[in-house]
Chain A
Amino acid sequence: MSDLLEINPNGLYCPAGDFYIDPWRQVSHAVITHAHADHARPGSERYLCASSGKHVLRTRMGNNATIDTVKYGEHFSIHGVDVSLHPAGHLLGSSQVRVSHRGVTWVVTGDYKLQHDSTCECFESIPCDVFVTESTFGLPVYRWPAPATVANEINTWWRANADAGRTSVLLSYALGKAQRVASLLDPSIGPIFGHGAVMKLVEAYRASGVRLPPIDRIPPRSRKIGGGRGIVIAPPSAAATNWINRFGETSIAMVSGWMLLRGVRRRRGFPKGFILSDHVDYPDLMQAVKASGAQRVLVTHGFTDIVARLLTEKGLRAEILPTRFVGEERPDDSAVDEDLEDGPQR
């Protein structure tokens, strides 16, 4: 008997329901886990996403795309296949896709995290037979500090810069991470500004009803914005351009899970790094697998061979689910494409 979901040249496909999840190419029906560029590609005939992710996906796909939405937890049928979306906790409107047919249930997590994040819905564990998980940070060295601790570190750093009259610049991915970081800032320290790429999505978040502190667009030809007390949220790609020089004296910090490693901090040349990721760390990955109750796990995106081996040793049937892109995750490409939050090139 063939699997409920399988890989074909277009991506992850459900033959019984004739639809794709996060397809790599243009197809007729695409169920989208979240709006990051490596999961949501333009050109398909119809998209389906969680209703809270509609504004964000629209910003990415443009006005001509056909986007259907469904509420979290609402069951519907595609050619007799039972499908529902459940929060993945990755960013606003990010979903796990539950697919059930003839008594077999699969859950495709997309990207996910178990940590608290006030800008999106919390991850829900869905029981299943086959669990498809990412493994971006699937090594035991990756254990995230508590978000409140990181928030405290960021605000302390910002306050020290503000007191010294230096503008703070936080580099983080435009979609998801930037809004999450903004929600952690203490607006009593100074004004918050967003790079244009960040602002488009801040507006989409606000339109979806997410509460964020006041964030302003950067005034043209401004130096020392906010009198040197300001903080700017910008995508990492902006760090390599002249754009950053306009603020006079700055202190720059990168916000990423990769900042956990000393070698990466040094190689990327960021004087300061804050460890905050929208992906599961190793303990949470193990916990999510266990909570799913699945006996079969497909591992994708990241340290696939290592996580698959480990789960096999734990007595599960674990396999690698191939991704479209050759090669493996590396902490070095993040500055290249601002859309790839947390850096790995896929």
Chain B
Amino acid sequence: MQHFSDLYWRLDSTTSTNQKVAALKDYFGSVPAQDAACALSVLCGAKQVRAVSTRLLREWAAEAAELPLWLVEESYAHVGDLAETLALILPEQLTNISGTTADHSSLSLSHFMQETVIDLKGKPDIYKRHVVEETWRRLKPRERIVWHKLVTGGCRVGVSRTLVARALAELSDLEPTTLAERMMAATIETAEDFQSLISAQPTSVDGLRPFPFFLASPISGEVHELGSVTEWQAEWKWDGMRAQIVRRSAGISIWSRGEERMNDAFPEIVDAAESLPNGTVLDGELLASLPNNLLPFSMLSRRASRKRVGKKILTEIPSVFVAYDLLEVHGKDIRSEPLAFRRNELLTIVPSAFQRRPAPAGGAVKPKHSDKNINNRLFHSPLVPGGTWDELGCARQNARQRGVEGLMLKRTTSSYAHGRQRGDWWKWKVEPLEIDAVLHYAQAGHGRRAGLHTDYTLGVWDGDQLVTIAKAYSGLTDEELIEIDKIIRSTTIERHGPVRIVKPTLVFQLAFENVSKSTRHKSGIAVRFPRIARWRRDKSPHEAATLSDLKALLAQTTGEQTA
């Protein structure tokens, strides 16, 4: 545990990738494989167990520190990190009731995780509390911070998988890409898993492993600067979830970009993939779609996180897979072939083009029974025709009505690269929608923004009331955040724990990708990917948008109407 805590703090104290890689190498080179496996799953953001709820943990810490709970909450609001707050308030030396001597240096991470995290799952609170208090006694304050994150299932470390792969590659003399691929495919839990990960021999996980995703960059300059339009192919930029379907003799696997297996959430796609020839890997997008109509992203996200999807979901939110690239055909890796070649091959394997659009005014037509025809599951993404950049520009203007985010531009001669390499794949998104909204609640931020009120809840006018339409965090400079924080503090009307209700004075230009109906928000409207475009110091709150402005926007862009 001490080694892992040291690694955590070394990674935290630097922004240099070389130093991070060095810290990772030192760690993985010195700990037993069992611990390495354990650390790797935490570093790679594998789903963690929430062994103890944060509510219980803060109650127990408050008692141990002899502080009222409200004071712990106020401290948390100031610090912005619960694990750190609790470590800071706990007495350094806790009285040792059981009389066992504290010994933390010899604790291996894997044993420690087993004893103090995994074994707690499902145990009664009284047992958990005993282990928690015992563990506090065993750890130094900065180790407690790391453990608090582990035991509440929220340990995120500031390293990318790519960096971890690089460090392990340097340790094992393998190619970083080989490691990246293996890490993606395999679940690494045991010492053997870790040893085979860094072993020179090909491993069994090679059977279902996906390829590292190639990521597009937002286009920065003028599209004309990309050269002749004939060197490019244009596709719609679908608003779904990026995924790879791997169909090999070892089975079928659907991988998310976050490298999670999504077979359970999309069983109908797994069924449909049975029809693919052995040795096929497709790259594309999962979308929610009825046989006639494309459904908004918010519907898709409702099923994506599920372990099991029931009949109701399968009927109401059926999914499709729209493929836009073919990475492996008949067991052969064709990523280095030009895109034009891969696309021809793709069309022979997935012949039907996806042409669905969102429902026109009046709403989507719901099918009476679930759509069993697996031929209606797998499609390829059709090309968007355009002989000139201007024609493509016109097509892009229609993106929102089609329920897509804009255009993708891909160089026809490009190979399928790894990670975000600029130059061959560009996303050319439609300009965001914008309205002016008013700040009515604010909350202190976390991490780097701890202690500053940087989490904003924004509203628009419904008569003389503000109704919430979005929460937004990003888009302002540090200087603006500090200045706005000052205004928030001086215009606070009421405080509810960390949340402040403020007098409406601050107006922000809110940008977002799309609007849709929502039953979750009081306003009846949800905006997609809201962020602050700028602070409108020049506007007074009563000049901000109204709910009817937003409803008009909804009708205009999708044809939908709210009740």
Contacts and interface: CB of A to CB of B under 8 A. Distances in A.
A263 B447 contact: yes
B485 interface: yes
Interface in B407-466: 446-452
Nearest to A310: B71
Given A140-B65, A327-B489, A331-B451, A263 B81 contact: yes
B81 A140 contact: no
From B72, B85, B88, residue with most partner A Cβ within 10 Å: B88
Given A141-B78, A332-B451, 11 more contacts: A140-B67, A140-B72, A140-B88, A141-B88, A262-B12, A263-B79, A267-B478, A310-B71, A313-B68, A330-B482, A333-B482
A260 interface: yes
Contact of B452 (A142, A143, A330): A330
A262 B79 CA distance: 9
Interface of B: 12-13, 65, 67-68, 70-72, 74-75, 78-81, 84-85, 88-89, 446-452, 478, 482, 485-486, 489-490
Given A141-B79, A327-B489, A267 B88 contact: no
A310 B88 CA distance: 18
A142 B71 CA distance: 13
Contacts of B80: 263
Nearest to B13: A271
A327 B490 contact: yes
B85 A263 contact: no
Contacts of B79: 141, 261, 263
A3 interface: no
Contact of A266 (B70, B72, B85, B447): B447
A277 B437 CA distance: 41
A330 to B, nearest CB: 7
A139 B448 contact: no
- SS of B interface (majority): helix
A140 B90 CA distance: 9
B75 A263 contact: no
20 contacts: A139-B75, A140-B65, A140-B89, A141-B89, A262-B84, A263-B449, A264-B450, A264-B451, A267-B448, A267-B450, A267-B478, A303-B78, A306-B71, A309-B70, A310-B68, A310-B71, A327-B486, A328-B489, A330-B482, A330-B486
Contacts of B88: 140-143, 260
A139 B78 contact: yes
Given A141-B79, A141-B88, A327-B486, A261 B450 contact: yes
From A262, A313, A326, A331, residue with most partner B Cβ within 10 Å: A262
Q: List the 4 shortest-distance A-B pairs measured between CB atoms, nearest first.
A: A263-B450, A141-B88, A326-B490, A327-B489
Contacts of A303: 74, 78
Nearest to B74: A306
A139 B451 contact: no
B81 A262 contact: yes
Interface string A130-148: 0000000001111100000
Nearest to A258: B451
A313 B74 CA distance: 15
Interface string A141-171: 1110000000000000000000000000000
A141 B75 contact: yes
Contacts of A271: 13
A143 B85 CA distance: 12
Contacts of A143: 88
A266 B489 CA distance: 23
B75 A140 contact: yes
B526 to A, nearest CB: 30
A328 B75 CA distance: 15
Contacts of A260: 88
A330 B451 contact: yes
Nearest to B84: A262
B448 A330 contact: no
B71 A140 contact: yes
A261 B84 contact: yes
Contacts of A326: 489-490
B246 to A, nearest CB: 39
A266 B448 contact: yes
Interface in A14-54: none
Contact of B448 (A142, A263, A306, A310): A263
Nearest to B478: A267
Interface in A239-292: 260-264, 266-267, 271
Contacts of B13: 271
Contacts of B478: 267
B376 to A, nearest CB: 50
Given A140-B65, A327-B486, A263 B451 contact: yes
A240 B200 CA distance: 50
Contacts of B12: 262
Nearest to B85: A141
Nearest to A266: B448
A271 B14 CA distance: 8
A264 B78 CA distance: 11
A263 B451 CA distance: 8
Contacts of A313: 68
A234 B74 CA distance: 34
B447 A261 contact: no
B78 A332 contact: no
Contacts of A263: 79-81, 84, 446-451
B449 A267 contact: yes
A131 B293 CA distance: 71
A18 B300 CA distance: 73
From B13, B448, B449, B482, residue with most partner A Cβ within 10 Å: B448
Contacts of A310: 68, 71
